[in-house]
Structures are given as C-alpha cells and as structure tokens.
Chains A and B, each alone.
Chain A
C-alpha cells in the first residue's frame, strides 16, 4: 500500500489476506488516475454532460426567513437521482482502466445499485448488485430500475437481510472474483482505499457548494448539514469545508424509533469502536461484539457501521453528529414537498429536519447548507403508506 489508509485511529484494511492484492491494485490505479489529466478530463466531461453537474444550490423560498437562510445542494437533480452517480462514474472509469470486465456492488435504498447499474450499462460492464431481501421488498421501484438497465439484482437472505448483509455478500463474491471484477463500493466505508477514494470522488459536492454560497452570500455558511449512513454524501459535502474552521459540519444519523431503544442506526451516537467490513470504526454491536441490526425508515441509512473518517471527525471534534427520528424525517419530507415543491429522499429528509430545528432556534443571522443527497421517487410507495392519503 502507498498510503496508511488511516484517519487517526480509524480505517485500515481488515480483509482476508487473499483480497489484499486487489486493494493494492485499486489504490495504485486510483493514485495514478488522480494524477492523470486524461482521467480527470474524461470524468469531468461525464459529470457535466452525462450526469448534469454542477447541481444548483437552491435557496428555499418558503422555509427559513430573511434572517435564517436555508440552501439546498441539489444532488437530487443529478442523473440517477442521488449523489451516488458522482463516484460511481469515477470508479467505473477506474475499473475500465484496470481492465476489469465486471462490476459488483451492494445497495441499501437501491440508489447506489441504480448508479452502478447505469455505469455498467454505459461502459458495457457486466453488473451484479447485492441487496438485502428486506430492502428488495421496500425499494421495489429501484430494483426494477436496476434490472431495466441490465443489472442482475441478487436478494441477500443472510443475517438481517439489509445493507450490512449485502456488503458481506459483495465482499465474499470479490474474494473469488477480483481477477476480472471491480467491487464498486458505494460509500466512504470499507477497507482502504475506499473511504479515501470515495471521499475524493464525492468532494465535488462541497467544492461546488462552497463556490456557490460565496457567490450567493459573499460569505461561508454557518453550517453544512448532511445525513450519515455510511457517510459518502456527508464526506463529499464536508471535505472542502474542513479547513474553514468557522463552518460547523453536522452529520445527522437515523435515530429511527428513538435513540433510547434499539431500533435506530445511530452508529456514532450509540455504537463503539470495532471492526466491520474492512475498517476500524464505530459499530453498533452487543457486548460480545456481535453486530446489531440497525433500523431506519430510510434503507440508505440503515447500516450498523459508518465511514472511518466520520469516526475520526467525531473524536477530533471537527464535526458534530446527532440524531433525527423517523417521524421527524417524515415530517420534514412532507414539509419540503408542500413548501418548496421538492420531493426529497427519506435519507436527505433527516438532514433537512435538523436544519429546520436550527432555523427555529436561530436568533441571529444564519446561513445553512443542507446536502439534499437524493430525490424521493423511490420512497413514494412507503411515503404513501406512512403518511396516509393526505386528504
């Protein structure tokens, strides 16, 4: 390995020895590509002309006030419907450079699966998506979208049948298939180099938002707020603001049915350091070290670990992490739709819910950026069930 792969005490490469050469190969390809002008040019071209970057920074007209101004970074408008497309295009290009002919990926809400499926179609790579059987059921539309784009979707029946089990299956596949297959991991979790590489490929979110807010407001925001499951949209939004000490970085974890119970996915708030899926990081677990089953109304946040850089940002105090319940997220989801005409993903509604609390509490001028990481089409069936007919 060329780099340590550590964020303070967190991160690392905790995988079976047989996978180490695959990670070494990937790290070398990533480092080489980052320095290669042709790679950057091709990626930037794809992001602009295929995916639709830059995405707008929208100031809410009806939420917030003249004093407390709320901006949304509109990753929901990106092709594919979420921020996932940014880094998937980058990794798929990398896979081509490495001569791989097949992609595998895990998915929770299905957004990463959809993004991987579109990249597979675009680049002519055979694509297999592992998805927990529970998630297959609650995200049927995304399953269909993946299959429509030619991906094979494999429901995972082991364990809790959600995202963590999909990651397990993808890792197992990769230990046998790395010679011709790239594991297109969907977030800033997993073994090095994934947390670093995915952050770099998502950095464009915060980079654009920073320039856009300076243009709009002539100053930096008071806070950047993003939801955290594995944590890729948050790391992408945070990365270019980390050096701006005046900007609060706020990660919102899914508090599910409440942080006092067991039905949540608040890894940083209720977990403790451990090792899962290749990295040392905060993990929801019992006292013996068995991994707990997480819960969130949003499948994309339903994950009992978190990217190791978030663990580091929490322990170092640079970022703050707090929880938003299913109920609060649903209320924010409905309010955004009614107030602004924007239907966001349940995941992003967690970040929005916290921003709304901050706006309510604001006594002085406040400028907030919420990373609206995805759109809500995939959640329509569930929203209908949870919110009723709205008549």
Chain B
C-alpha cells in the first residue's frame, strides 16, 4: 500500500480530509528549509508538497516565483533538494511527499535518472506543472518504472475525454486546480467543483485534492464539502516563509489552523462522546 493510500484510508476512517502543505525547497536556504518541512509536520500536515526551484516557473504566481529566486540565489541545486528530502524522509518515514516541478529540470537530468533519484530520496509522487495529460505518457511511464506515483492536474475546464486519460495515468491523488490562473493566495478558490470530482470518480481516478487560492479555513471546508479528498495550500505558507520572523513557528501555527478545518466530523464526534 502506498503512503498516499495509507493516508487516505486512515483519514477516511475518521472522516477527515487531507491537508497538504507546500514549501519551496531551499527557501530561504537549505538549513532553514529542513526546519520548515518539520514545521509542516508539527502543524499537522498529512502530506508534504515541495518544489525544486526553477528559473522560469510559468505556472506560479509572484509569491512562489520569489521563493524560487531566493533559493536559486542561495545557490540551491536539484541535487541539494534531493539530499534535503532524503534527510527529511529519514526522520518521517510515513508521511507522503510529493514533488512539484517543471519539465526542463526532469529532462536535464534525464527522465530515468530523475525518477530514480526521486525514489532513492523517498519521494512518493511527482507532478510536472508544464506537462499536461497529452504529453504525460513518457513521464508517467518513467515514474511508474521507479515506483513513483505520477500526479496530473485536472481543472474545471478539462474535457471528459482528458479526465479519463488523467484517471488512467495518474496515481496517488489528482491535483485539481480550484480556479484559472497561476498559484497564489491573492485570488481565492472558485467553488462548485462537484462535477469535476464526480467525473474523476466515475473515471476511476485516485482521490481529488484541491489546490490554488486556499489560504483560509473556510476554503478548506468548502473544498471538502464539495467532495475533495484533501486540499493543498502553497502560496499562503510560502508568504509566511518570506515575511515571518520565527518562520517555523508561523508555518506550524498556520498549518494547524487549516488542518483543524479538515476534521469535518469533529463536532459530531464530540457530540457522540457526550
């Protein structure tokens, strides 16, 4: 059973949704970054999403772009990122870790070598932001060969035929984007994703997790109420890394706040306990 399957099964028995926290690796430097990954776990994140800094991140808004710039200016390389994740994995054997990256970083190392290194660093899934379903087969194939779950993106405007292709290629979870545009907390999520989640379920896709524009507990509740199995918050966390004094404490507290909103049946359980 994969770490994602274990996580979703465990959460399902409690009636909870999954909370995924995103960080840019090496932002603002490698040592701080490792502490921030621990802070995500301490705050209660169920799954960890990380980016490798890339020079030209076309799917990212200003906050995550700036994080990549900070990491690149600190001299952080993909090799450093893999070492960082291996160190994190040694401390946290069960939590699923997903990599969000861009195609050129995969090709530069070579697809096979890239996914092999992901596996040896203890990474569970890889999402390549600029590889849509139509181009995904060679990436997904190389991922599967190394026991890595290929994660694909689905959106409200994705046609049903493409959703079926996503369902057949995607493992772990489906990254559903909550609105058009790039990453960022400035524009909140759209609601009304029931149709997307239902279509994915009908096609036999792995659980849908909603991301983009999720920065408040009510966003989390709206997402879970509409049928998402979890949520991912990125820019809101990365902005804390940029601005907070005690970065780890700020990240931990923020994650705890959103994680609390994933406990859908908390009230009911408390009532039952009397």
Residue interface mask A10-44, B partner, CB < 8 A = 1: 00111111111100000000000000000000000
For the complex, what is the distance from the CA of A352 to the CA of B238, rounded to whole Å? 50
**A289–B135 CB distance below 8 A:** no
**A13–B135 CB distance below 8 A:** yes
**A176–B182 CB distance below 8 A:** yes
B contact residues, total (Cβ < 8 Å)? 43
Selected from A13, A165, A179, A285, the residue in CB contact (under 8 A) with B134 is: A13
User: Counting CB contacts under 8 A, is B129 at the interface?
Assistant: yes
Cβ-closest chain A residue relative to B158 = A17
**B157–A18 CB distance below 8 A:** yes
Q: How many whole Å from A249's CB to the nearest CB in chain B?
A: 27
Cβ-closest chain B residue relative to A179 = B180
* Chain A residues near B107 (CB-CB < 8 A): 273-275, 280, 289
User: Counting CB contacts under 8 A, is A301 at the interface?
Assistant: no
For the complex, what is the distance from the CA of A72 to the CA of B268, rounded to whole Å? 80
For the complex, what is the distance from the CA of A56 to the CA of B78, rounded to whole Å? 52
**A18–B103 CB distance below 8 A:** no
* Chain A residues near B109 (CB-CB < 8 A): 288-289
- In A329-346, which residues have CB < 8 Å from any B CB? none
Q: How many whole Å from B126's CB to the nearest CB in chain A?
A: 14
* Chain A residues near B263 (CB-CB < 8 A): none
* Chain B residues near A274 (CB-CB < 8 A): 104, 107-108
User: Counting CB contacts under 8 A, is A55 at the interface?
Assistant: no
Selected from B62, B79, B159, B180, the residue in CB contact (under 8 A) with A18 is: B180
User: Counting CB contacts under 8 A, is B220 at the interface?
Assistant: no
**B181–A176 CB distance below 8 A:** yes
For the complex, what is the distance from the CA of A288 to the CA of B53, rounded to whole Å? 11
**A20–B134 CB distance below 8 A:** yes
Q: How many whole Å from B197's CB to the nearest CB in chain A?
A: 16
Give 25 A-B contacts (CB < 8 Å), ordered by A residue: A13-B134, A15-B132, A16-B129, A16-B132, A16-B153, A17-B133, A18-B153, A18-B180, A19-B132, A20-B132, A20-B162, A21-B158, A164-B56, A171-B58, A175-B182, A273-B107, A275-B104, A277-B56, A277-B58, A280-B107, A285-B104, A288-B78, A288-B79, A288-B108, A290-B55
Q: Which A positions have Cβ atoms within 8 angstroms of B?
A: 1, 12-21, 158-159, 164-165, 168, 171-172, 175-179, 273-278, 280, 283, 285, 287-291
Other CB < 8 Å A-B pairs besides A16-B153, A17-B133, A280-B107, 13 of them? A16-B58, A17-B158, A17-B162, A18-B177, A18-B180, A168-B56, A168-B57, A168-B58, A176-B187, A275-B103, A277-B58, A288-B109, A290-B72
Q: Which B positions have Cβ atoms within 8 angstroms of A?
A: 54-59, 61-62, 65, 69, 72, 77-79, 102-109, 129-135, 152-155, 157-159, 162, 166, 177, 180-182, 187
